[in-house]
Amino acid sequence: MMYQRTKAINHNQLRRYLYAKNNTQTLFHTQNQTPTSNLRNRKHIPFITEIKHVQTSEQALSLFHHYTQLGHKHYYPSYAALLYKLARSRNFQAVETILKHMKDADIQCNETLFIALFQHYGPLKAIELFRSMNQFNCVRTLQSFNALLNLLVDGSMFDEAIHAFDRSYQMGFRPNTVTFNIMIKGWLVKGEWEKACQVFDEMLHKKVQPSVVTYNSLIGFLSRKGDLDKAMTLVEDMRRKGKRANGVTYALLMEGLCSVGKYEEANKLMFDMAYRGCKPQVVNFSVLMNDLGKRGKIDEAMVLLREMRKRRLKPDVVTYNVFVNYLCKEGKTAEAYKVLIEMQIGGCHPNAATYRMMLDGLCRNGDFEVGLNVLNAMLASGHFPRSDTFNCLVVGLLKSGNVDGGCFVLEEMEKRKVDFDLESWESVIKYACSEDDNGSSMLMNILSSLSI
């Protein structure tokens, strides 16, 4: 299968959504009505405003049908909004049906719609969509070509990317800086430094100007390999060509220095970048703090955090994750939990990694009650832990006497089709058998929570 399918929908019903009670001519714009003029009025289309708040693809289709029945005309912007919603919900069957109708109705599409669909479909289907764009009165430009090329590189289809790149002129596209950057990235991911350099040379030969991103890709590769002298040579080459290194450039160099145990030199680069007119960014502080955390120097990392704040730099989720990670590894879960609370108060939202590191640390430390609080916050944010963490939390809660909490976690596991593994069952049964009557009651509660 080229792309994931979701639950099938009634296609006769979907076609009624599209055609409803009016004929095509009155519902949909004709070819001489361009989407550009309609895009200007996008904010005045009630359907587009309402669909943003719809949760499921079925609700989106129902809303579309509702407006059709009210006699509203659906122009390209409404179709685009509906397709974005359906694609994000991975309801690809509905996407295909609507695209077919748009093609049959001769509705002109914008290139950005297909670029968005590329991302949701994946590389194989994206190739098909790219080839069919002209059937939707849509002109393919270098923007959609670059989007497809990037998807092929990121989707481990680099041979196909090379083939597309080699045929770019034949297809009518003149590669630009972005095109070459994508190919350089692809060769570097494969570890082919010489091939990446050949693309860079071709870029210069065709008088396409390298960007800071181009240099950062090369500098990052060399820094990760520990070839810092060559990386610094590239920085100098940037300066000669009038390209100013940015915060990411310096962060890559600093990361390379830290990886070979040269923290002090990495720290000095902070002064060097400031001297050259590039203000240190959050990413630069994060590199240093991460290295300190690896070496157990959390107090020194905290000093850097305070220095960041003095410079009015707001820590991001990566910065906070450094502290949560290493505090948990050292068993200082109470301090890590304070960091979690602090980041939320400061308006920085934890991501899946934050919650997982925090919850894993609490389980290792036996803080199962706090772990239950973190799990609730995690689930409310749309994230959930690994299977082994779920199992550990259940066993810990049950053994600590919190049967209701353990059963709640089991129910959440069941909702997400996460198995309560054999080892966890053995642990719970052994504990229950040693608890006399209370143990029997606990087992009954567990079995009922699992609908057994």
Which two tokens mark 197?
Answer: 């350099």
Q: Is the pLDDT of residue 316 over 60?
A: yes
Question: pLDDT category, 450, cuts 50, 70, 90?
Answer: low
- CA dihedral (447, 450, 451, 452) positive or negative: negative
Work out the mean pLDDT of the chain and round it to a whole number.
84
Query: Rounded to whole angstroms, how far apart are CA atoms 40 and 99?
Result: 22
The residue with greater pLDDT, 44 or 90, is: 90
Which two tokens mark 426?
Answer: 């053995």
Task: Find the length of the chain.
Answer: 452
Q: Is the pLDDT of residue 73 over 90?
A: no
Helix (H, G, I), strand (E, B) or coil at 29: coil
Question: pLDDT category, 46, cuts 50, 70, 90?
Answer: confident
Q: 93-97, 107-111, 132-136, 434-438 — which is least confidently predicted?
A: 434-438
Does residue 413 contact residue 390 with C-beta atoms inside 8 Å? yes
Helices (H) and strands (E) in the chain, counts: 27, 0
pLDDT at position 436 is 54
Query: Rounded to whole angstroms, how far apart are CA atoms 149 and 145?
Result: 6
Query: Rounded to whole angstroms, how far apart are CA atoms 104 and 98?
Result: 10
pLDDT at position 361 is 96
- Provide the 10 A C-beta neighbour count for residue 303: 12
Q: Average pLDDT of 233-249? A: 92
Query: Rounded to whole angstroms, how far apart are CA atoms 302 and 314?
Result: 14
Query: With pLDDT > 90 as the criterion, what percentage of the chain qualifies?
Result: 55
Q: 15-29, 169-183, 344-358 — which is least confidently predicted?
A: 15-29
Q: What is the CA radius of gyration of the chain?
A: 28
Q: Average pLDDT of 376-399? A: 90
Does residue 178 contact residue 146 with C-beta atoms inside 8 Å? yes
Task: Write the DSSP string, 399-450.
Answer: HTT-HHHHHHHHHHHHHTT----HHHHHHHHHHHHTTHHHHHHHHHHHHHHT
Q: Write the pLDDT tens digit of every residue in 106-156.
A: 888 889 999 999 989 889 989 999 999 988 888 899 999 999 999 999 999
pLDDT at position 231 is 96
Q: Average pLDDT of 75-89? A: 86
C-alpha distance from residue 249 to each of 118, 184, 242, 313 (Å) = 30, 16, 15, 18
pLDDT at position 443 is 56
pLDDT at position 413 is 87
pLDDT at position 22 is 35
Q: Write the pLDDT tens digit of every residue in 190-207.
A: 999 999 999 999 999 999
Q: Is the pLDDT of residue 10 over 50?
A: no
Query: Rounded to whole angstroms, how far apart are CA atoms 152 and 145?
Result: 11
Question: In sequence order, which ranges of 9-75 are alpha helices (DSSP H)?
Answer: 11-19, 24-27, 35-40, 46-51, 57-69
Does residue 219 contact residue 252 with C-beta atoms inside 8 Å? yes
Instruction: Locate the domains of the chain by residue range.
Output: 1-138
- Provide the 10 A C-beta neighbour count for residue 310: 8
Phi, psi of 95 (to 5 degrees): -60, -45
Q: Write the pLDDT tens digit of every residue in 165-187.
A: 999 999 999 999 999 999 999 99
Query: Rounded to whole angstroms, how far apart are CA atoms 150 and 182?
Result: 6
Question: Residues 101-105: contacts with CB within 8 Å, 24+ apart?
Answer: 101/15, 101/18, 102/136, 103/135, 103/136, 105/24, 105/28
